[in-house]
Each structure stands twice: as structure tokens, then as C-alpha cells.
Amino acid sequence: MTTCHVCGSSRSEEVLTTERHSLGVNRCLSCGFVYLASWEKSLEHADALYDYYGQITDEDMRARHSAENQQSQERLLEELARHARGRTLLDVGCGDGQFLETARRRGWDALGIDLSEPAVLLCQRRGLAASKTDFFDRSLDAKRFDVIIMSELIEHVRSPQRFLRRASDLLETGGILYLTTPNFGSLARRMLGGSWSVFHPEHIGYFERSTLRKMASEHTALREIKIEARNLSPSTFAAWIRGHRDERSCAPSTAKSAAGGGLDQQLRSAIHKSRALSASKDVMNNLVSRSGLGDTLVAWLQKPASAT
């Protein structure tokens, strides 16, 4: 019997069946969390789902590490520096190390961990401090960090609340947990239904702003600075116009390595080159965040002094 991997309840209702992969998506009637009905099977094959890191070429890396992405990461690091007391950083699920590389260039003492050996090797070949280490490994117990990054991570794991508690334990007093995850409450998901490109066997949990806020407040002592729903993808509207079908592959190897030909990437490049477009984007993001309809949930959570 399918159970919620957050609260363990077997009481659920089916929300939809995805168009690609024919995956059942359920909502827990006890805690409200939305999850993949076949999440246990997905975890059994998790290693195979991340083999794509071993197939990334130098050309892929150049496309992934674009000037637009680096500029966005630099702005994030500047904002993090204004909140955190120091410059030690842990990137949990560091992937190919793009953020680690930017952080190192900006003077951060940055460490990355990932369970994918090919991903870690990509980092190490560029001289980045990365290792194949489980987030709960005892080797991390004595360490403390000013910033912990969980970018597109918690939708992949069983017991995401346990990851939030672990982050709280490893943060310095006043430290910041910065995390992002796809927004199940987004306009894109509402428009595209079962053809939403985020649906994939590797994504076993689907967060809304309310469920993320509830998880942080009920399972950790972390204080919410803000939880936003940011960004609208132009490709969402293109897919909807094509008849509610998103023809892009949702496999990370395709989505994360897409070169400049994609609609979203073209728009990012145009915004990067135009101050007017960049200002317009900031206004749009503010409106989207207030509505809660953005593609990505972005949470800033801080460890208060009372949590030590």
C-alpha cells in the first residue's frame, strides 16, 4: 500500500496521472503533502537515475556554466553574505559543481557533497572541494557552516523534514539554509496538468509553499526569513499553446545541459544583456512571488540563537 513518505499515513487521494511515464501522483489526506505513488520503486533505482553526470561533455559544461547563471549565483552569494556571519558554505547535492566554483571565486570556503560519483569526479577534475559523502555521515558531525545550500534536492529524498533538521544541526548560530524546489502550486503545473515537465521518477515529493512552511516550522527550530515562489518559464506557455503538451525531455541531462537554443535560455541571455529587461524581470518576479504561482519555491531559513 502506498504511504506518504513524510508522515507515513496511507490515507491519500490521487491528484493526477502524469502524461510521461504514467506516474500516479497522490495527496496525503493527513498532512497534505503531494508525492509520487511509486516513490519506493524510484528510490530502488536512484543510482541509475543520476548516471547522466557521467555522460556530460566539455561542451555541455560550457553551456551549463553560462555567464547568465554565474551572474545569478554571484548575486545570490552577495545576498547570503549580508545575512550570514561568516563565509563557510556546504552545497548538499552539489552536482557538477557550478555553484561551488562560483563561490570559490568569490572567496567562500565552499565544500560540496553528492552521492553521485560521476558528479563528484566532475567537481574534483576542476579542483573543487567535493566528496561522495552522505549528508548524515558522521564525518560532518563536528563541522559547522554559515550557509547550507540545497538546490533542487528535497524533492528527491525520503523524509525531507529529516534533511531540514540535519541542516539546522550543521548550521552556525545565525546561519542560513537556502533551498529551492519545484512549486507544485505553480501556474505551470496548473496549466499543464499531467504534462508538467517536472514530473519524473526521480522527483518523489512535490512541495507547495504551505507544505514547505509547515515542514520547516513543525520539524525544525529554523526561523523563516522568506519563502517565495519565483520565475515563470516562457516554455510553459509555448507547451500550453501546443495543446497542453510539453515536448521537452524532463530528464536532468537534457534540461540542465540545454544550450542557447531553448526559449528559456534565449530569454535569460536577453535579460542578462539588458538593464531594462532585468528590471522588468525583478518586477515580474515580485508579482509572481506574491501570487504564489512561480515555478520555483525559494526558501531562506535561519538558525536562531535559541536553537543552539
pLDDT tens per residue, range 158-191? 999 999 999 999 999 999 999 999 999 999 999 8
Cβ burial of 44 (10 Å; 0-12, 13-18, 19+) is exposed
Q: For residue 10, is pLDDT > 70?
A: yes
Taking phi first (over 0 means left), then psi (-120 to 50 degrees means alpha), and beta for anything else, what does residue 21 get? Answer: left
- C-beta neighbour count of 256 within 10 angstroms: 17
pTM above 0.75, yes or no: yes
Amino acid residing at 274: S
The b-or-e profile of 161-188 (16+ CB within 10 A means b, else e) is bebbbbbbebbbebbbbbbbbbbbbbbb
Checking DSSP bridges between strand 223-230 and strand 145-151, what pairing results, if any? unpaired
Range 69-93 average pLDDT = 95
* 228, 59 Cβ separation under 8 angstroms: no
What gap in Å lies between CA 253 and CA 143, rounded to an integer? 32
Predicted local distance difference test score (pLDDT) of residue 281: 53
Domain boundaries in the chain? 54-195+209-307
C-alpha cell at 83: 545575512
Q: Is 163 helix (H, G, I), strand (E, B) or coil?
A: helix
Buried b (16+ CB within 10 A) or exposed e, 210-228: ebbbbbbeebbebeeeebb
Cell numbers linked to 204 = 518523489
Segment holding 230, helix H or strand E:
strand 223-230
- For position 232, what pLDDT does the model report? 78
> Would you state the pLDDT for residue 84?
94
Q: Are strands 171-182 and 296-302 parallel, antiparallel or unpaired?
A: antiparallel
Name the CATH topology of 54-195+209-307.
Rossmann fold (3.40.50)
What are the tens digits of pLDDT across the range 123-133?
Answer: 999 999 999 99
In which residue are the cell numbers 563557510 written? Answer: 88
Q: Is the pLDDT of residue 236 over 90?
A: no
Cβ within 8 Å of residue 197, ≥6 positions away: 235, 239, 246, 248, 250, 255
| Degrees to nearest 5, angle at CA 147 with 145 and 153 | 110
